[in-house]
Amino acid sequence: MGKILVALVVLCGLLFIGTVIAGMLKGQASATTTTTTTTTTEDEPYTPPPPDMDPPKLPVPETYSEATQWLQKNAIYEQNTKIPNGCTFLKPLDAATASVSQLQTHIENLTACLVKVWNEPMTAAGFVLPRPPATVYTTPIETACGKLDRVNASYCGGDQRIYYSNQIPRIFPSDLQHARFLMDMVLAHEFGHAIQARTGISVSEMAWEQKVGKAEANVYSRRLEQQADCLAGMFTHSVAPSVNLTEQELATLRKIAYNLGDDVLSGDPNIDSGHGSGKNRELWFTKGLTGTTLIGQCNTFIVPASQVR
């Protein structure tokens, strides 16, 4: 395959990967019943690194062949997460009623926890994981990836930062808005994009997305987004014992994943867009939540396109 010519353009600010949400949503989630498999490790004292205001550049493949290799056979897939992995400092929060200052404190604790969970497998795979700065915002905000809407959450590859709107809970049905791990789950998805960026998966996906036609580009995008759903499930799986998430609360999180589907958001059951159906978003989140600890279970780039529809 030829040289990748679009990658550097993407990294200069066009790498917008996040959960884009608009308007009030309606819909009911499908029920999923599974059994969680866990391993046990001791929770260790943890001092998180400070947010990295000047992180190293993201890796960029040189060719499309290398990009495919990074997507399908990435070294991160060979690593495992630990269960439980601590984060007892991550306290319960109702994101629908919390103040902006409470949300900002929580997002800082959350990114510390996310780094705690993901740093060991990232390091073992040969990657670095700087802690992304994280911002709660209340009005549209300019980022290195462009302007974020009033209601949005995003990891921006242009500045390697995470952004979260305090209005996120209101886009969900009323019975989900007060879920105490809602904010954590949404941001774990965005941190999944940080993992993808630091392992070269994001820029490899974007390079292919810009090379193919629209329909195939949407498939690539859905593979990226649903992999982030799976990584969010793995994070939740890892910390659930430490933060005392109940089976009912985990079921609620699966409903939240479903309600982020393109079809649910738009009301169009036949939509062909970049995030995927509620059914498959729930499926991949659940795969991470209830599967093994091997990160390779989240390899959405080798499954049939129908599994990320």
Chain centre to alpha carbon of residue 186: 7
Q: Which residue has the tokens 């990295």?
A: 52
Q: Does residue 18 surpass a pLDDT of 60?
A: no
Cα separation of 234 and 164, whole Å? 21
Give the pairing of strands 134-137 and 161-165. parallel
Q: Is residue 143 part of a domain?
A: yes
Cβ atoms of 288 and 185 within 8 Å: the answer is: no
What span, in angstroms and rounded, lies between the C-alpha atoms of 93 and 90? 9
Report d(CA 21, CA 2) in Å as an integer: 36
- Is 36 part of any domain? no
Beta bridge partners of 99: none
pTM: 0.89
pLDDT tens, residue by residue, 115-153: 999 999 999 999 999 999 999 999 999 999 999 999 999
pLDDT at 284 over 50: yes
Contact 108, 136 (CB under 8 A): no
User: Does residue 90 sit within a domain?
Assistant: yes
**Cα(174)–Cα(170) distance, rounded to whole angstroms?**
8
What integer pLDDT is reported at residue 45 of this predicted model? 74
Within-domain flag for 168: yes
Q: Which of 15-29, 38-52, 99-113 has the lowest mean pLDDT?
A: 15-29
Residue among 237, 99, 97, 259 at smallest CA distance from 180: 97
Distance of CA 80 to the CA centre of its chain: 17
pLDDT at 7 over 70: no
From start to end of 199-309, where are the E strands? none
Tell me, yes or no, whether 86 lies in a domain: yes
Per-residue pLDDT at 11: 38
Task: Say which residue the tokens 């609360």 belong to.
Answer: 249
In a domain, 25, yes or no: no
- Number of domains into which the chain is organized: 1
Q: Is 28 within the bounds of a domain?
A: no
Instruction: Report the percentage of the chain scoring pLDDT > 90.
Output: 83
Domain that holds residue 118: 7-20+59-308
Instruction: Identify the three-state secondary structure at position 47.
Output: coil
